[in-house]
Amino acid sequence: MKSRYSIFSLMRNALSYHEKWPEAWRSPEPKPSYDVIIVGGGGHGLATAYYLAKLHGIHNVAVIERGWLGGGNTGRNTTIVRSNYLWDESAALYEHALKLWEGMSQELNYNVMFSQRGVMNLAHNQHDLRELSRRINANRLNGVDSEFLTPQQIKDLVPIIDLRGNGRYPVLGASMQRRGGTARHDAVAWGYARRADEQGVDIIQECPVHGFEIENGKVVGVQTAKGLIKAKKVGVVVAGHSSVMAEMAGIRLPLVSHPLQALVSEPVKPVIDTVVMSNAIHAYISQSDKGELVIGAGVDKYVGYGQRGSLPVTEETLAAVCELFPSLKRMRMMRQWGGIVDTCPDASPIISKTPVEGFFINCGWGTGGFKATPGSGWVFADTIANDRPHPLNEAFSLERFNSGYLVDEHGAAAVAH
């Protein structure tokens, strides 16, 4: 390991005025060819590259990013991590990811500040309660921690909540995953980048992809702003731009890209210690370590590649927040932004081989990709390395949209995030 981060290295470097810290990763020019090229330098892509090298011995790997690492949804999400999904297939995938989160800071030797402060999903009516019970039971039997909280237990954990919800959206209960929580999103990208680089992976930023070289149904290279780069295999993991990239390889996807909006308040002293999500009223909220309230809003309904959100969505979300937390009405929105989320008809991802040999795609994470980052990279690396899906992502094939075996998370769970 080139330079281990620790309190001791911090002290040592303090003596030399922090002038001796090495680069966290190199910025090399691309080689003429690679065994694997990962298109997309977000958390998922960087994790894929890292696991390809670390677990599958494939070190001749490049990650190609059109802008800066983590500049897409990795750096734009509300950092919630949980695994309490309804269907067995989803629960297994996200739980695998959660286990990786639990050791990530140590694995990467980079503090990603994964904080298991708990994630709560509120129920506001009898239907919500029924669905909550179904999900809690399914989670439990899948080995995913999940419990029911009574309104009083909710109030004890989040004293600023108004359980009456003004009568319109009363809080009748919640599911709680205590192992869920939040993490520092940028650090995930940087931590994986640093470790992948250490494993020999070339990270190439500011290098847009213009097309793919395909010969006899097999991918052989990637056309980029820095010229043609040959590759034996290509993995595309570019979230909102998946349809655009796939089209370059002649593949159609069932995705719709929407702008998803988030916002933060000005920083204040701690007022909320867990993550509170309410699907019925389209709001979820947590507080960052810096003190900002981090609020996730809904998507704009139309296809949009602009990384910005519209005012009606802000209004709807903040009205809901003010309703649940009437004391936060005087807080102020400090910054608002949007990311482009690629939503799938069944609200589940696609981690799959494609009709083009050697061309793999990982997309469709919709509004919930961040939490899957390590697991997504892990199974994608395995799928690329072995040319077949890992059992954890077998159900998430592109094929399912023909056969009908959908993993319908929004139809089933009262949670679409």
Binding flag, residue 328, another protein (CB under 8 A) = yes
Query: Minimum distance between the CB of residue 282 and another protein, rounded to whole angstroms?
Result: 11
Position 265 contacts another protein (CB under 8 A): yes
Is the CB of residue 407 less than 8 Å from the CB of residue 87?
yes
Measured from the CB atom, the residue of 160 and 386 that comes closer to another protein is: 160
Please give the Cα distance from 193 to 227 (Å, whole number): 23
- Contact between 331 and another protein by CB under 8 A: the answer reads yes
225 binds another protein (CB under 8 A): no
- The CA-CA-CA angle for residues 333, 74, 114, to 5°, reads 85
What residues does 283 pair with on adjacent strands? 278
Distance CA 220, CA 213 (A): 5
Binding range to another protein, per CB under 8 A, among 5-13, 45-53, 209-217, 366-374? 5-13
Footprint of another protein on 298-327 (CB under 8 A): 301-306, 308, 310-312, 314-315, 317-323, 326-327
Q: Is 2 in the site for another protein (CB under 8 A)?
A: no
Structure-token pair, residue 106: 């140590």
Does residue 55 bind another protein (CB under 8 A)?
Answer: no
**Stretch of residues binding another protein (CB under 8 A), selected from 44-52, 158-166, 214-222, 387-395:** 158-166
Rounded least distance, CB 397 to another protein, Å: 12
- Which residues 91-130 are close enough to bind another protein by CB under 8 A? 103, 105-106, 109-111, 113-117, 124-127, 130
User: Applying CB under 8 A, which of residues 1, 2, 19, 216 lies at the interface with another protein?
Assistant: 19
Q: Does 233 bind another protein (CB under 8 A)?
A: no
Q: Tell me whether residue 78 or residue 243 sits nearer to another protein (CB atom).
A: 243
By beta-carbon proximity to another protein, the closer residue of 338 and 358 is 338
377, 360 contact by CB (below 8 A):
no
Give the separation between CA 232 and CA 224, rounded to whole angstroms: 16
The span of 43-51, 134-142, 211-219, 368-376 binding another protein (CB under 8 A) equals: 134-142
Residue 271 contacts another protein per CB under 8 A: yes
Contacts of 181 (CB under 8 A, 6+ apart): 80, 81, 82, 114, 115, 116, 117, 118, 119, 274, 275
Q: Is the distance from CB of 112 to CB of 224 less than 8 angstroms? A: no
Shortest distance in whole angstroms from residue 133 CB to another protein: 3
The residue written with tokens 């003004």 in the block is 166
According to the binding rule CB under 8 A, does residue 267 interact with another protein? yes
Check the CA dihedral 278-296-96-93 and report its sign.
positive
CA atoms of 225 and 1, how far apart (whole Å): 32
Closer residue to another protein in complex, CB, 26/31: 26
Is 156 a residue that touches another protein (CB under 8 A)? Answer: no
Nearer of residues 228 and 271 to another protein, judged by Cβ: 271
In the complex, minimum distance from the CB of residue 220 to another protein, in angstroms, rounded to a whole number: 25
Please tell me what DSSP assigns to residue 28. Answer: P
Asked if 140 touches another protein (CB under 8 A), the answer is yes
Residue 409 CB partners (closer than 8 Å, separation 6+): 85, 86, 87, 90, 346, 347, 348, 415, 416
